[in-house]
Structure formats: C-alpha cells, structure tokens
A = this chain, B = another copy of it.
Amino acid sequence: MQIDLLDTFLDLAETRSFHRTAERLRITQSTVSARVTALEQAVGSRLFDRSRAGTDLTPEGKRFEPHARALRHEWNEAKRRIQIPQGASQLMRLGIQNDLAAVYLGDWVARFRAVLPETAFYIEPDYSNQMCADLLTGILDFAVMFSPKPHPDLHFESVGDVTYRMISTETPRLAEITPARFVFAHFSPAFEEMHRQLTPDLATAAVSVGQSGSVVSLLTAMGGSGYVLEKTAADLVAGGRFLMVEDAPDLRQPVFAAIHIRHRTLPLHRKLTQLVARNFG
C-alpha cells in the first residue's frame, strides 16, 4: 500500500473519471488504471465499477473511502507530529486566508504565543479551497478562511467578519466612479456576489483581482478606485493620496475558523478559535 494509491483512489472517487484524475495528478490514464488495479489487488476487492459511460464506486469502494481518508490523514499527521522545533512541546500548523495575513497575522500570532508559550507555530497564508484540502489531509491543524467548503470531515465556526471599504484616488462620491478605472475584487465567491449586487455597474470593471494587497498595489501604481480592507483603507487615506468613498456601501466578508472534525473538541483548537473570534468581537 502506498500513499500514491490512496491519493489516486480518492481523486478518482471525486472525479469519477480516469482521464480527469490523470490530468489532475499529472500522470497518464494508464497509470491511474494500473494504480487502481494495484490498490484493488491490495485490498482484495473491486473498488470501482467501470463502464463505458463513467466510473462509480462499488459498495466496497464506498466503505473504503473513509478508511483511505483516515490513512492519508494519519500519515500526514505522523510525518509532522514527529518533528517538533526544539524547546516547543508541540507544533500547530495554521492556515490563514491570504487577504487576512498581512493585516491580522501579527496580532493573532502574538496572542497565540502569549496564551500558548510552549507551542510552536507554522503559518501558511493560502486560499480557502487549498486550506480545506490541507485540513483534510492533516497538513493543517487550524485555518481561518472566507469560504468554508462543506465536507463531512470538516468543522466550521463563524468568528465574525471583516469590513472592506471603497477608496479612490479621484473622488469621494460613488456616482462619479466609472468601471473603466475601477478595480473589481473577487476575494471570495460570496464577496463577489455581494459586490455585484450592491454596485452592479462596477462589476464590468476592466481589472479584477482576488487579493486586497493586489488591489492596493494596482491603485497605488495606476490610480483608480476599489475595495480594500477597512484598516488598509484608513492607512491609505491618512497617507493623503487616497479618498474614502463615503457613500459607497461597506462590504462585510464573514470569516470562519475551520478544523478537522476529529479535533473539534480539543481544548487547544477551541482556544485558538476563541482568540481569533475576539478579533472581531
């Protein structure tokens, strides 16, 4: 049994297509076929029903799936649990939404360290989808994200929301802002949707970015208007070059703490959730 086989199995269980799995895993279809066959031989049961029109899990395959997840999770847990930075009693790997890292990370980690001085932290800014996948595989212990991806093994908890405000190099009035010089933000699907509804005419903007930092970078370089984090907006306006677009609606993005279901009740994880939630309380 090799991890490769499990990864292939799980991906195939998701895509239900040898070709798509081959593409996603950057291997050939014949290799997918061989790996699945190898795994089936190892467990002693057929795991997939292959027909000309698609692939599906057999009852055995369905029963095997949670075990495959558990194995992969355990393996990843094992790999990192054994190496702990010297002096620390344990290691926590945190994921943080890309957008939030720049502004909030410092505060959070300072607070974490104060409450958990014995714990070492490894932090990785990333996107929601990737963080959900990493929580599942055990690469991350805890994540703060915008877009929870429902999954039976994941547990999400709302910890508040962050506010985005519109700023501009040109005008403080919403009516005067045109799509041509507007930077549209798609920080998350939910955010994008809200954005479209509240300012439908700006949704046709020529430039669309998925990160608050990038919006700032663009606006600083080329001028124009766009939504940025409240805190960033205040800083930029104080700098003199930017104006707050006062009559533009504020956009609120909900923030979630995410953990693997297995850790839901662990005191350590509860503590972290509380500390993050306090930020928005």
Contacts and interface: CB of A to CB of B under 8 A. Distances in A.
A180 to B, nearest CB: 51
A64 interface: yes
Contacts of A2: 1-2
A3 B2 CA distance: 7
A3 B70 CA distance: 15
Contacts of A50: none
Nearest to A84: B63
- Copies of this protein chain in the complex: 2
Interface stretch (A25-33, A75-83, A186-194, A266-274): A75-83
A68 interface: yes
A71 B68 contact: no
A82 B64 contact: yes
B82 A74 contact: no
Contacts of A44: 79, 83
Nearest to A71: B74
Contacts of A75: 1, 67, 71
Q: Which applies to chain A's interface (DSSP): helix, strand, loop or mixed? A: helix
Interface residues of A, number: 24
A45 interface: yes
Contacts of A107: none
A163 to B, nearest CB: 41
Interface in A160-209: none
Interface string A21-65: 000000000000000000000111100000000000000110110
A58 to B, nearest CB: 9
Contacts of A84: 63
Given A1-B75, A43-B82, A70-B78, 14 more contacts: A1-B3, A42-B79, A43-B78, A45-B82, A60-B83, A63-B82, A67-B74, A67-B75, A67-B77, A67-B81, A70-B74, A71-B74, A71-B78, A74-B74
Interface of A: 1-3, 42-45, 60-61, 63-64, 67-68, 70-71, 74-75, 77-79, 81-84
